[in-house]
Structure 1
């Protein structure tokens, strides 16, 4: 073959390759408008261009969402679905399954349009009304199979007094934003409305609060100051802030009466929603969500489990590691409130420690199953909807709680036995598996073996690391919290010592004054041992009718733990009397030694200060 011919062919091949690259990068363009916002509707048009002709286009609505693990079937809230070509002429459209549509034939451009209904303002769905639109992107925007690596352009056509809060990248054109690919787009919650903005610089990066609320500017100013302290303390744990992809991190916050209480982490932002305003205690309640979600900027967004990377939008996502991703974050979320000064020692013990210790030690599920097992249950419990009853009171403890309790136990043990702490462990995990990033994703997502290895490195004791994971992560050994907390001058005690109880099952009087067991009774509880269960009605105690809560409490207070009382019950239509042995109320609480009437030693106070005091410079 002549050299000139070879050169020509090579040039042609290079031209074709370049053309294919350009073709692959043609952006997917979205346009959103809200002409019927008062009735919770948005109009969405998606333009897929430069498509290979002769190949059908398959369009999907997501079935799951980053930060959620169950199926949510977002397609149920879209209708009026149409497809046209570039000139607006209708294209044939089929609907092969509940969450997909197919355009069998086209000339390279498909305009796919639909109406979106959304009336839930939280981190999972879409909330649209005349005041605002809070959009979780998987619940909002359709996507096409095979085009996941294309960039996206999103145009918001909104009222003049609405502004945009999002981690999407601004383009310089009002209302137009971009994402590098589908994974980033789907991870980018967006709030539209009359935003109140507070912005500041931290370590050369922009941190911003973009808030919809009906409070005062002074309330928001005070809230921003508290948030700044949280940001500083979180950064102190890891040594620095993450390298946010576009140099900024955004708290996308809706504190409006129509909002649901929720928080959802994202790579360069978090979606926080709550009906409580930033007043009368609401600020501290909302700050707890801010604290938890901001810690996720490291843990789960960049320090990411291998079994969640990449996230799948077309199926439930199961992980072995949510005890760490969510549970350790739960522990640090409360600890940051203490280190930032939002909590006192006493309040931290009551709000943070008591919750973890009581639930972990008293939940039957924690005595039967491991944190890994609890993590694997997320597709069934993480806002998943089902109508059939289950036995989760006896088989499950949230991976938030069980993981948070393990983090507490590990932190205290590291401080007492190894002269190190959980902060050091988290920093090493960050350095090895969080800091290395590639294409807006972790370059080295971790496995459980990685976490065990790093614990061995932190303690310089691989035998301890192996035993901790074997007993507490893969197993279900319960920590001795009373012993672990004692060096910090903290006391674990019965919250209601001596009080008689029927157990932890939920009991409630109906409007017709019937006392009903609302939840499954729990293993070992008085009602469970007596053979009573969900939906059974307690009619009489000691032969006296149970008419209201006051009567029930008065009758129960006449007894002590260990007494056997006769309870008349209606169980599935049958009325019978059963003996029930009362037990002592099992609820536990953590208090400071001072609250328990003890004088902590200087060593205990020093240990407590090293653990709980702020670390930010």
Structure 2
């Protein structure tokens, strides 16, 4: 009996095991698992391993993005992938064919157990590609990894709407700054979950030695993380200004935004080495990646961060919570672009300027000057080109060079809508209330049809807004800016503006001796008031200013620092004249130049002007 029982038990166990095995083999895996190894970096490359979902087809297609949201540029991240392999459960290689720079077709996909490949970074080979640095990648073993995830992780065609689990192995000395939640408490492994590929691409991670600050603004947790290769700056150096700015932004937005966490990942580039050279930022739903030169003087860095980060932060309104189907279901390899860059980038850029005057961070005159500069700069582009048409075809060669105009005319479009709404509502409503209404109508997960947006905006606002959109945004009629400024009592006029001590417009007052790299004042150049007052002469060599030595290698730093000079600041300049060194001492004298600007002059429009700028 005992033997029988054992035999029966064994039989049951065998049957049970067999049943389990059969069940396991039939189980459908509907998840993508990713392993990124930052510990074992070889030849400046990172190994990525992808465990795929179950395939029932004979072939599977794997993509690395050709383009990502926010860049409007075809960058071909697949060019940075090496040694791509597809393996079965026994480690045998499956046949793979590379069909273009970003696509691999895998045969016998039913047997596919994993995909492996090596990733090269983009920062140290800038100049060989056109990838914007904040959208690029960095691999510096044991120092810094900028994981813009689209550069490391791809997707299987037809499987990008399923969950992703990403496991990152990293040195214990490095910490990953991100808005993602780490589900592993250990110091060397991070585990992140996202519901689909788009959320992963939307979530950058920067690994470096911990240097970060956190604070809370009206229920939103803010993370500021800084990588400064030479230790020039820390997160604490920039946090006070960032906190002031973000509190002002949250106050300006009011109920429009409900984001619970936002991360600023600041990478400071070492200009003396092969490193990132494209300065600016790239937006994400809950974070932004920022690249700036480490050598930039602190005051200038903070000013740049205020403008750049505020722009990216406002993207949480659009396109991140108000967007079309082209963005919601973005195709990373054969994209269809939306018609509404005027809103995604233009409204965002306008808000990044409007909130500063609204919250008292800049004066009204400074705001007017910024708008005047945008008008002037926008004249370099075809003013009769329908903005919707340009936006829809922005990847085409015919329109690609017009992209920068979205930050110029796009912002001016938003400004005119704002002014018109203030007039139509007797000051009660502006473009911020429109974005609130659109956010309530749509939100993060409900995209609109591109062709329906103008009608929806008109229904939510006034007939004048619909007429404006059709005539000046979809149409080819240039915007009569003076007419819109007149509605708020503002007119064009000449204004005084301090000139840069070393620049006259785009023309420099200084040059460089190519043999010695020394900075010189050219012979025959008419000197400006600052140079004359301090005692500089033609053919002088500039050796140092206020104790900092300058030459060709850091001439950019000289120009940037001089932008922060104030009238009557003490200054000491070490020069070489007739092969003899000498020191000039004095005070900064700024030359004022006349430029076309804007003034408020019509007091009868004071009420609507106040509603526009302060409402």
Task: State TM-score, norm by structure 1.
Answer: 0.71
Give the corresponding residue for 2:610. 609
What's the secondary structure of 1:379's corresponding residue?
coil
Superposed displacement of residue 166, structure 1: 2.3
What's the secondary structure of 1:23's corresponding residue?
coil
Give the corresponding residue for 1:249. 262
Mapping 1:428-577, distance limit 5 Å: 428-434=437-443, 437=444, 442-459=445-462, 462=463, 464-486=464-486, 488=488, 490-493=490-493, 550=525
| Residue 371 of structure 1, aligned match among 363, 377, 387 | 387
Task: Note if 1:349 corresponds to 2:363.
Answer: no
Contact 1:370 1:472 in 2 (8 A): yes
Contact 2:227 2:268 in 1 (8 A): yes
| Residue 29 of structure 1, aligned match among 29, 34, 39 | 34
Superposed displacement of residue 506, structure 1: 8.6
Superposed displacement of residue 170, structure 1: 2.1
After superposition, the C-alpha distances for 1:429-448 in whole angstroms (9 at most, x for unaligned) are: 121122xx4xxxx2242534
Superposed displacement of residue 604, structure 1: 5.0
For residues 160 and 431 of structure 2, the distance between their equivalents in structure 1, rounded to whole angstroms, comes to 38
Superposed displacement of residue 171, structure 1: 1.5
What's the secondary structure of 2:365's corresponding residue?
helix
Give the corresponding residue for 1:406. 413
Task: Note if 1:179 corresponds to 2:194.
Answer: yes
Unaligned segments of structure 1, at least 5 residues: 1-14, 382-389, 498-504, 514-546, 554-586, 594-599
Q: 1:197 to 1:364 in 2, by over 3 A?
A: closer
For residues 512 and 184 of structure 2, the distance between their equivalents in structure 1, rounded to whole angstroms, comes to 62
Task: Note if 1:224 corresponds to 2:236.
Answer: no
Q: How many residues align?
A: 491
Q: 1:152 to 1:59 in 2, by over 3 A?
A: same
Superposed displacement of residue 291, structure 1: 1.0
For residues 472 and 22 of structure 1, the distance between their equivalents in structure 2, rounded to whole angstroms, comes to 56
| Residue 286 of structure 1, aligned match among 298, 301, 305 | 305
Q: 1:118 to 1:410 in 2, by over 3 A?
A: same
For residues 405 and 20 of structure 1, the distance between their equivalents in structure 2, rounded to whole angstroms, comes to 60
Superposed displacement of residue 132, structure 1: 1.1
Query: What RMSD, in angstroms, separates the aligned Cα atoms of the two structures?
Result: 3.7
For residues 240 and 275 of structure 1, the distance between their equivalents in structure 2, rounded to whole angstroms, comes to 33
Q: 1:321 to 1:286 in 2, by over 3 A?
A: same
Give the corresponding residue for 2:341. 322
Contact 2:36 2:167 in 1 (8 A): yes
Superposed displacement of residue 41, structure 1: 2.3
Contact 2:34 2:153 in 1 (8 A): no
Superposed displacement of residue 603, structure 1: 4.9
Give the corresponding residue for 2:570. none
| Residue 193 of structure 1, aligned match among 208, 215, 221 | 208
After superposition, the C-alpha distances for 1:108-132 in whole angstroms (9 at most, x for unaligned) are: 4422222211132833221222431
Q: 1:104 to 1:377 in 2, by over 3 A?
A: closer
Task: Note if 1:148 corresponds to 2:160.
Answer: yes
**Structure 1 stretch 403-412 or stretch 194-203: which is displaced more?**
194-203
**Structure 1 stretch 276-285 or stretch 298-307: which is displaced more?**
276-285
Contact 1:331 1:405 in 2 (8 A): yes
| Residue 104 of structure 2, aligned match among 101, 104, 126 | 101
Contact 2:222 2:263 in 1 (8 A): yes
Unaligned segments of structure 2, at least 5 residues: 1-19, 124-131, 498-504, 514-521, 529-593
Contact 1:374 1:397 in 2 (8 A): no
Give the corresponding residue for 1:532. none
Contact 1:69 1:317 in 2 (8 A): no
For residues 508 and 393 of structure 2, the distance between their equivalents in structure 1, rounded to whole angstroms, comes to 28
Mapping 1:264-279, distance limit 5 Å: 264-275=282-293, 279=298
Q: 1:41 to 1:456 in 2, by over 3 A?
A: same
After superposition, the C-alpha distances for 1:392-439 in whole angstroms (9 at most, x for unaligned) are: 88x8872232221111112122223432322222221121122xx4xx
After superposition, the C-alpha distances for 1:556-607 in whole angstroms (9 at most, x for unaligned) are: xxxxxxxxxxxxxxxxxxxxxxxxxxxxxxx9733444xxxxxx56555544
What's the secondary structure of 1:398's corresponding residue?
helix
Task: Note if 1:55 corresponds to 2:49.
Answer: no
Superposed displacement of residue 87, structure 1: 4.2
Give the corresponding residue for 2:139. 128
What's the secondary structure of 1:169's corresponding residue?
coil
Contact 1:95 1:102 in 2 (8 A): yes
Give the corresponding residue for 1:6. none
Superposed displacement of residue 261, structure 1: 1.1
